[in-house]
Amino acid sequence: MLPWVTHLLGLQLSLACCCWALGCHEMESSPDFSLPGDYIMAGLFALHTDCPGVRHKPEVTVCDRPSNFNGHGYHHFQAMRLAIERINNSTSLLPNVTLGYELYDVCSDSANMYAVLSVLTLRGTQHIQIQRNLSHYSPKTVAVIGPDTTNHAATAAALLSPFLVPLISYEASSVMLSAKRQYPSFLRTIPSDKHQVETMVLLLQRFGWVWISLVGSDGDYGQLGVQALEKQATQQGICIAFKDIVPFSAQAGDERMQGMMRDLAQARTTVVVVFASRQLARVFFESVVLAKLTDKVWVASEDWAISMHITKVSGIQSIGMVLGVAIQQRLVLGLKDFEEAYVQAAKGTLRPCPQGSWCSSNQLCKKCWAFTGDRMPTLGAFSMSSAYNVYQAVYTVARGLHQLLGCSSGACSVGPVYPWQLLEQIQKDTLTFNDNGDPLSGYDIIAWDWSGPKWTFRVIGSSSWSPIQLDINETKIQWHGKNNKMPESVCSRDCLEGYRRMVMGVHHCCFACMSCEAGTFLNKSDLYSCQPCGKEEWAPKGSPTCFPRTVVFFTWHDPSSCVLVVANTLLLLLLVGTAGLFAWHLDTPVVRSAGGRLCFLMLGSLATGSCSLYCFFGEPTLPTCLLRLVPFAFGFTIFLSCLTIRSFQLVFIFKFSAKVPTFYHAWVQNHGPGVFVVLSSTVQLLICLTWLAVWTPLPTREYQRFPQLVILECTQANSLGFMLSFAYNGLLSVSAFVCSYLGKDLPENYNEAKCVTFSLLLNFVSWITFFTVASVYQGKYLSAVNVLAVLSSLCGGFSGYFLPKCYVILCRPDLNSKEHFQASIQDYTRRWGST
């Protein structure tokens, strides 16, 4: 048992209020309808509606106004009577036990309070005793069926919970009532609004309605439902453009409702969710008809989704389409016949009721005397489903009593039954209730149908749990409009693929579409920001995805590679062939005038540079990066050094040896040409070693130049080390050019100015072209341009210096003689001597 001390204060306040009501007004102490029995169940039904208007003082509502008769509550009242009648006539359920009932008309809060306190009176008395230990408290009723609304159910549950009297509601669906700590004895046969809200959100998501309006009704049902729906819908990305509550005092067309209609029209939402009680929903839709709000989709909560209280509003068929959540359709077989028998018995039109028949225990109801067979309250689908919940609640209590009294043996042990004992048995009915006392049933998804002469509805799907699942048959939906097209309800249409949403205003559903920049893509998990592609990926502007980058490098099988490889190989063959030719004619004047054995050093240096070109082809590796330019730079330095010193030596011999004989003899004796070549080459060697140590060329993957490519290359291709090496060779080139220019008037066989000038100009043009191309182009073919520049320099040096000599050796042997060379020198001497 729970400690009850915490509940006593609230109970005493409730008793004080009710005692005031009973003292100030004359009210019958007996219930409106009753049937004696071994065990009594109470039923709380709204047979009348309370329309008090504006009250200036508290008063107790008297539920006896025929004009406010509630046919929906009347069906609940009769369903309970029918259930108890059948149980009493059953031989399998509660044999030898008779159930009785006390039925109350709870048309108002005060009537509801009076009924609950009447239920709590001790058996055989009209008193309520507050005891320290309530486990042996024995009220006259063992269980209570009802009431219908959340407000009334919360009041009843708060009063009955300290006594653990089972309270099973058939229509109170608010989530707050599932709190077992506050309402431990509350159960219900209607699903909790928690599942209704989840179902509504799934319904909105199913049809892509993310821009909606939300209207609720005053009271716990509407306000709590709106709060829960707003919270869950917002979490699922649905925006609430407009939200309002229909107050209790609202009247169709009054100033308050007119303002609501204007705001609803300005919201420009196609879908409006109306989570409201049927009484205030009627006021709302009467105002909707007056405001001529049409062509909308109205999503209905279960309290009015299939209620004829709403469908009877004049002009309701013009408002658009109604989709709704309704409790699953169930039938109480024989209920209509039972109600008709009740009326006819009241009129005395039937013969005396046989013993044990449906009408044998009927209590005549003075409010119902005006009914005839034609004027019976209409038993629609909504009332029938609610009546089934009442019927099921009664049978749930009966099954609990059956187990508690040990009736499974065939005979019940009739004795005292305490409320907490019965509650314990009912809660074990796992086929009906979950741990929170909520039913295990689901919802029907319905759509209104005005295609026939009368209103009806069509079941288009269902909702079940756990987990929550929605099953919709869209082929059964007849959308309003000429094209039978599902309406949209969005603030902004979805962006194209690759376009992100930029929120405009306070609602994330209202946005402008902005294209994702190149290198980024739009991930479907985040529609509001573009995500960068991975390092190995790329994306064009406005792309919904990234693509793998293409890895490129200067391959061997590329057409340009083939051309360059063939050209370089031919150059190598020419160098080797020239070396062989010069070796064969080493002692001839042409070879000796070209430098003799020094020619082999020059040819070797050019061959070294030519071999380094093969490192430009294929995927870069550390060895190939190290050997791409350094061997060429060092080898070309040797070639230029030899070319420079050869030109200088010729000029010195012919022009200055006679003038400075001492210097000439020292130059020759100390091997001046060799020393110069060694010193010059050493300087370049130091530069190259520094280049390799400080600005080491390494294989790398370049991502910045081209978004869709990964270029495999060597780092620091144009580093400071390379520039120093290139500048040094440039200095040697200028020196060689100057020396050769000074010898432009030497004997023809020793005059190399034209050929050297040609080779050096070709060298300069090649590298100027390379640097120009490198400044505007950084693709994979930059390596081809580099190879071409090196190859041009090598070919220029070879063709400018060696090809003329090869031509003389092979084609003009007459010029490769001592006589020809001596004649050329004598002619030069005569000219200079005469000068």
- What are the pLDDT digits (tens) for 701-718? 888 878 888 888 887 666
How far is residue 787's CA from residue 772's CA, in Å, rounded to a whole number? Answer: 15
Lowest mean pLDDT among 46-60, 375-389, 533-547: 46-60
Pick the more confident residue, 230 or 130.
230
Asked whether residue 545 carries a pLDDT value surpassing 80, the answer given is: yes
Asked whether residue 1 carries a pLDDT value surpassing 60, the answer given is: no
654: confidence class by pLDDT, cuts 50, 70, 90: low
CATH 3.40.50.2300 for domain 193-332+442-476: yes
**Could you tell me which of 142, 451, 220 has the C-alpha nearest to residue 317?**
451
How far is residue 316's CA from residue 311's CA, in Å, rounded to a whole number? Answer: 7
Q: Which CATH architecture has domain 5-190+375-427?
A: 3-Layer(aba) Sandwich (3.40)
How far is residue 696's CA from residue 714's CA, in Å, rounded to a whole number? Answer: 9
SS3 letters across 283-311 = HHHHHHHHHCCCCEEEEECCCCCCCHHHH
The answer to whether 215 and 271 are in contact (CB under 8 A) is no
In the DSSP assignment, the letter for residue 33 is: E
Asked whether residue 639 carries a pLDDT value surpassing 70, the answer given is: yes
How far is residue 700's CA from residue 482's CA, in Å, rounded to a whole number? Answer: 65
The answer to whether 87 and 126 are in contact (CB under 8 A) is no
524: confidence class by pLDDT, cuts 50, 70, 90: confident
Query: What amino acid occupies position 457?
Result: F
Are 5-190+375-427 and 193-332+442-476 the same fold in CATH?
yes
Write the Ramachandran bin of 481: left for phi over 0, alpha for psi from -120 to 50, otherwise beta: left
Percentage of the residues of the chain whose pLDDT score is greater than 70: 82
Per-residue pLDDT averaged across 641-662, rounded? 67
Query: What amino acid occupies position 443?
Result: Y
Residue 219, SS3 per DSSP: coil
Asked whether residue 23 carries a pLDDT value surpassing 80, the answer given is: no
DSSP conformation letters of 449-481? E-SSSS-EEEEEEEEETTTTEEEE-GGG---SS
The answer to whether 49 and 70 are in contact (CB under 8 A) is yes
Q: Are strands 699-702 and 537-538 parallel, antiparallel or unpaired?
A: unpaired
Give the per-residue pLDDT at 587: 81
How far is residue 589's CA from residue 595's CA, in Å, rounded to a whole number? Answer: 10
Asked whether residue 80 carries a pLDDT value surpassing 60, the answer given is: yes
Give the per-residue pLDDT at 8: 37
Run of H or E residues at 1: none
Cis peptide before 466 (omega within 30 of 0): yes
Residue 204 tokens, joined = 């909105």
Residues 6+ apart with CB under 8 A from 58: none
Where b means 16+ CB within 10 Å and e means fewer, 398-410 reads bbbbbebbebeee
Residue 705, SS3 per DSSP: coil
Lowest mean pLDDT among 364-378, 488-502, 797-811: 364-378
Average of per-residue pLDDT values in the chain: 81
Per-residue pLDDT averaged across 385-403, rounded? 93
Domain boundaries, the chain: 5-190+375-427, 193-332+442-476, 499-548, 559-747+773-782
